[in-house]
A and B are shown apart, each in its own frame.
Chain A
C-alpha cells in the first residue's frame, strides 16, 4: 500500500493506495492523516475516476468553428500543443498587451503558485477564478480585521457553531471524526444557524436557529446586542487587544489621532497595512478616553483605564468609542427585531444561542473559513456580515484562543525581519504577512490592477467583469483564457449566459481538465490532466496513463517556453526540487529562530501578539493598521467602505425589492452541499451518482402547495436572470418561503443511463444575476436572490459532448414549451434529445 493525498476535493485527505501489477485497484483512508482512516464517497470512488472511459487522454485541437455540433477534435502532440499555445499567447500579448490574457483555475489542488506565476510571467494582472464566491471574501475580511488567516478549531472547542456552514457534507471525511468526538465524547455544544433543518448537525444541535438566507448580518448584530447589553464579552481581551476602546469622530467617522489630543502628537494617517516591520514599529498611536483622568490619552500611556463606552467631546467635536458605535448599531437589532427580519421564530431562541456562544469556555464558528464553504460566497451584503461574525469572535475573546479561531502571521513578521515581497497585488487579498513564502513561489505580481477589482479584493479579477470583457471588449478586451482545473461554464460564475457568450467570443481558449466539460467544449485546445495522487506529483503511484500530464508539469513546460527568465526550471522535477528546497530553508530558518515546525511548516504560537518587541518594548500585536483586532477597520474606511460591522438587506429581498418580490416571492439559496459530489465534478461517476441521481430543489410542503407543486414534479426555478429545471423535493426541513438547491449539475452518467443537462439546464448559476454584488468584495447573490417556482415538463437531456446549451428560456409562464421545438435554440443544441442506444429515459 502506497500513501497519497486524495485529489477529489481540495482538503486532500490521506489515502492508502493498493496497487497490483501496475494497476490501482483500491484505496482506503490513511489512519495517520487528519481523516483518521475515513473516506467519503468521493474518495471511495476515486479509482473509478482514474480509469473512467470518458477521461481525456491526449491533447486535442479544434478544427471546426465554436458552436458547431462537431468540434472536429484532432489529436495532437504535447509539443505541438505547447508550440501553438506559445505562438498564440505571444501574438495576443504583442497585439493587446499581457492584460488581454486571463489565467484561471477552479478550486485548485495546490497549484495556486504555478497558476499565479504563469499569470505574472505573461505580465497579466488577470487571474479569473471563482474567488469572489469562494474563499476570497472571507480571506479579505479576516486578514484586514485580524492580520492573519484563521481556521476554526472545531476539534478543540467547547461550542461549535455552524453558521450557513456544512462541514460534514462539504468535506465529509476530513474533520467529521474529530467533530463528532468533540460533541459525543467531550460534550461540545452545537449551534446550527441555517435555513435548513436537513443540515446534518441540526438534529444533534443544542440550538437550531433558522435564518432567512441573506439576513445573517441582522442575526449577528442581534447576538452582538445580547452580548454587549448582558455584558457577556471578554472585558480584558476587548480592552487590551481590540480597537474597541478607540475614539472615533462621529462627524467624519475617522479615528481620533494623537495630534488631536496631545500638542505635537502624531498627525499622520494610519498606515493601511504594515509593509515592513519598520512600519509595525512606527504604528500610529491609538487615542482612548481615560476613565480615571476623564480625558483623551494615548492608549499606550502608563496606567490608562480606557472607557469602553460613551460619547465625549474633543476640540468641540463629538467622538465615541468604537464599542459605543457598535452598541448603537446593534441596538437596532434586538432579538425581537431579528426574529422578525430573519424569519427565525421566538426571540428567546436567539438569546439562548447568543448566550451559549458567549458563555462557553471557547467557541468556534470558523470565521476565517479556511477551506470550508460558508456564508462568504453568496450575499450582496457579505462584507458587513463577515465583519459582524469576526466581531462576535473578537468580543468573546475567541481569536487565537484554543478552541476558537486560530492562526498566526509569518514568523518573520513576529521576530522582525519581514518585508513584503512580490508587490502589493496578491492572490490573498492584502496578502497577510503569513504568505511571504507563497509570494516567493508566485514571483512578482504586475502593479496594474486586475480588471474589475473590488475595493477589498485587490489583485482579483472580478468574475463576471472578466467574462464581460471577453464578450464586449470593455473596459479592455480579454482575448485569451488559459484555464486549468476549472469549469466556469456549468460550474462557478454567476450569470452563466454571459460566461457562455464570453467564452464564445474569445480568440483563444486553452483548457486542461479530466473530462470534456461545457467550458472546454468551447476551447481551441484541450489538454488531458493527470489525476492525483495516482498519476502526478513527486509521490506519484503509477506512470500517467496515455498522454495525461500533471497540471504542474504543464505550467512549468509552458512557462519555460514563454518566459525562461521567470521559469528557469526545465522540468517539473526541477521545479519541485526548488520548491522543496525553499520550503526546507524556510523551516530551518524558522527553527533556528525558535519556532516550532509542524508538518514541515513554521507554526508560530497562538499568543504571538503578546510577545514583547525588544526594540519598542511593546507587544508585537496583530498585523493590522492599529496593531489590534479591528472592530473598526482602518483599511475599509480608507477604501470608502463602512469601517464597522453592519447589515443591509440583500440587493434582492422581500423587504428591499417588494415589487420584484411580488413576481418572485421566494428566497433562493444555491449554497447547499451534497456529500457525494464536489462542485461541478463527479456526476459521471456511477458509484457517486447512484446516491444522488438527479438535481433537486428543496421546498417546504406548504410553499409547494401554494404553487401547485407535488413531490417529484419537475419544476422551473426562475429568477429575474434566468430559469432552470430541477425535481421538487418536498421537506418540512427547509424554511417555508425558501428554495434551496446545490450547484454543479451538468454532467451525465452513461453507465447508469442518468442524464446530463448541458450548461444551462439545471445549473444553479444560470439563476444568479451579474448586476448586483457586494460593494466591497464583489460577491454575487448566489445565496440570497428572489425566485419563483412552477411545474415544468421533463427537461431535455444532454448525453454526449460537446456540452453546449440545451434550453432556450421560454417566456411563457406555466408549463414550458418543449425546447426541442424552439426555433431560437442556440446553434449546436443538437445531440441532446436522444439517450444513448439502449438507454432509458429517467422518470421523475
Chain B
C-alpha cells in the first residue's frame, strides 16, 4: 500500500529555510502561516561543548491521524497516495484539527479561514513531480518515502553511514506518524 510521507535527513539539513520559502511560494500561504517550519534543537550545553540540530517539521502523515479524527465535518481524509488532505468544500474552519495535531502541522490560513496542511504538493504530485520543498532543498535533505514497494522502515543504507536508525517524531503522541528522520551526527532528542 502506498503511503507517502517525508524523510528528513537531519545530517544534511543546514537550516537555510529554503524549504519554508519554497512551500510558501507553492502553497501561497498567507504571512505567518507555514505548512513546514524550521525549528532548531539547541544549542544546549556549555560553549563549545554543545549539541544542536535543525528540525524541519511538517505533517507526519499519521496512520491514526488526530486531525481527521477531531474534524466534526469529516473534511480530512486520505487520498490514493495515502496522503492526508483537507477538503476545502467541507472544512468549516472550526480549528479542532489545529488543536488536535501534536505536530502543529495543520493551520487555519487567515486568507481563507480554512484549515490547510501539507498534502505533499498534491498538484505537483498529479503532474508526476516532486513536492516543492524536496525540489528546492539545497542539501538534498528531504525525500518522499512510502511508495508501495518501500515501507518507511526499509529505506536502504545511506552512503557511508550504513544502516541508519529511522527516527519518529514524538511517538508518544500515539498518532502513528509515517514521517521519518535520520540523525547520526548528534544525539536525537525526540524533537520535542
Interface residues of A (CB under 8 A from B): 26, 28-29, 35-41, 44-45, 168-169, 172-174, 176-177, 180-181, 183-187, 197-198, 200-204, 208, 210, 345, 675-676, 686-688, 690-691, 700, 731-736, 751-752
Contacts and interface: CB of A to CB of B under 8 A. Distances in A.
Contacts of A183: 11
Interface string B159-175: 11100000000000000
B89 interface: no
Contacts of B136: 28-29, 38-40, 44, 173
B46 A169 contact: no
Nearest to B186: A203
B48 interface: yes
Nearest to B184: A184
Nearest to B43: A733
A526 to B, nearest CB: 29
B21 A41 contact: yes
Interface residues of B, number: 40
Interface stretch (B91-99, B100-108, B111-119, B137-145): B137-145
B135 A29 contact: yes
B121 interface: no
Contact of A733 (B32, B50, B54): B50
Interface of B: 9, 11-12, 14-18, 20-22, 24-25, 31-32, 42-48, 50-54, 135-141, 158-161, 185-186
Contacts of B158: 184-185
Residue of B11, B12, B16, B138 ringed by the most chain A CB atoms within 10 A: B138
A203 B52 contact: yes
A203 B15 CA distance: 11
A38 B20 CA distance: 13
Contacts of A28: 135-136
Given A173-B138, A690-B32, A200 B15 contact: yes
B42 A690 contact: no
Contacts of B48: 197, 208, 210, 345, 735
Given A180-B14, A184-B12, A732-B43, A37 B135 contact: yes
Given A45-B21, A203-B42, A732-B47, 19 more contacts: A28-B135, A29-B135, A39-B138, A40-B18, A168-B139, A169-B14, A173-B18, A184-B11, A184-B12, A184-B159, A185-B160, A200-B16, A203-B43, A204-B186, A210-B48, A686-B31, A690-B24, A732-B43, A734-B47
Contacts of A180: 12, 14, 139-141
Contacts of A41: 16-18, 20-21
Contacts of A39: 18, 22, 135-136, 138
17 contacts: A38-B135, A38-B136, A38-B140, A39-B18, A44-B22, A45-B21, A168-B16, A173-B136, A173-B138, A184-B158, A197-B52, A210-B47, A345-B48, A687-B25, A733-B43, A734-B47, A752-B31
B139 A676 contact: no
Residue of B12, B18, B25, B45 ringed by the most chain A CB atoms within 10 A: B18
A197 B17 contact: no
Contacts of B160: 184-187
Contact of A203 (B16, B31, B51, B141): B51
